[in-house]
Amino acid sequence: MLSGKWIWVWNWRRCLDGNAIAVARRLRDAGCRGAFVKSDDGGHSFDQGRPVWEIVQALQEEGLLAGLWGYVYGCDAPTVIYGDLKYTATEEAAMAARFITEKPSPSYRGPDAYVIDVEAEYERQPSDPSATAERYLSAIRAVAGPDFPLFYAPLPQPDYHRALPYRVFNRYCQAVMPQAYHNAMQVSPERAVALCYDAFAAEGLLDLPIAPIGGAYGSVTPEELSRWAAAALQRGATMLSWWSFEHIENERPELWDAIARVDLPRKDDTDVDEETKKTAAASAFRQRIAGLILSGDPDLAERAYREMQYVRALAGLPTLATDQPNDTRPTVLANL
């Protein structure tokens, strides 16, 4: 699952009038592996003009992968947000579970993944967002099982959103898809990717693969999209996606060619040899430890030092010695 190019679908009827064959052709021409289609919002099903499972099945029959996504708010009680009534986190979990597991037709295999879109509203709730996320995610996993591809798409800089429960989502999901839209962040494409990856490293959140989402709307140019993709690939991304089909098709059609030019292998994680997996894991560990050290938080730096000592002991290497008991950063960084 965690490979290839993907496109997000918000309003199906605005995507080539909801013609699945035409949508699939456009995606294939751009070299895309699949699409994520919106299924629910705040515990409500999202109106796509036809049952969302039919859209998923139609894309799958065209040889694509098709996942679903839902927007969550984490409310403890029904709450009006942006003029609409949003149900509780319990009902959000039930809605996600329904779309993941429903079998309205014997020929329907179900969605290939489900993505949780969790943004600023979640951290603004009066209840504890971490406890809410724990209940929400455990309820989904209880129904979907431990192996179903569950991802989450949060804001791109966790250091700016410490009330957003990234760590809880990391425990239950297989990948994180940060919304690293350089146009929304008002920085260069390269800077947007760097800010995102560096923030996840600094917060110790590199235990999941990062599959960033790029902005393909508004004033984004083909050259900017290409630079953004190149920066993400340099960071080791194996899966990229863009927001969104309707914006590209109806506002920036020239971006289709730019997406087609992004050279991203479509092989699955299972195709990666063991040595490559070990190298990637070691790189992620080094990035996480460096991020903890450079965070400026003495407690996080001390945790990095303890983790390094533990890993070296497991590998049969001598533990690190330091002449600066109150500042372990130089010693640890020198041995990464």
At the topology level, CATH places domain 4-270 in TIM Barrel (3.20.20)
Q: Which residue, among 176, 183, 186, has the nearest Cα to 155 in the 3D structure?
A: 176
Is residue 16 within 8 Å of 26, Cβ to Cβ? yes
> d(Cα 301, Cα 283) in Å, to the nearest integer?
18
Number of helical (H) and strand (E) elements in the chain, helices listed first: 14, 11
Helix ranges, the chain (H)? 20-29, 52-61, 89-101, 120-123, 129-144, 166-172, 182-185, 189-202, 222-234, 245-250, 255-261, 274-294, 298-314, 329-334
> d(Cα 95, Cα 143) in Å, to the nearest integer?
11
- Ramachandran area for residue 54 (φ above 0: left; ψ -120 to 50: alpha; else beta): alpha
> d(Cα 165, Cα 132) in Å, to the nearest integer?
9
Q: Which residue, among 332, 130, 151, has the nearest Cα to 239 in the 3D structure?
A: 151
pTM of the model as a whole: 0.82
Q: What pLDDT is recorded for position 270?
A: 36
Q: What pLDDT is recorded for position 271?
A: 46
Token output for 103: 């079998």
Q: What pLDDT is recorded for position 298?
A: 77
Mean pLDDT by groups of 10 residues along the chain of 336 residues: 94 98 98 98 98 98 98 96 96 98 97 98 95 97 96 97 96 98 98 97 94 98 98 96 98 98 69 53 61 66 76 77 56 58
Q: Would you list the domain boundaries of the chain?
A: 4-270, 278-334
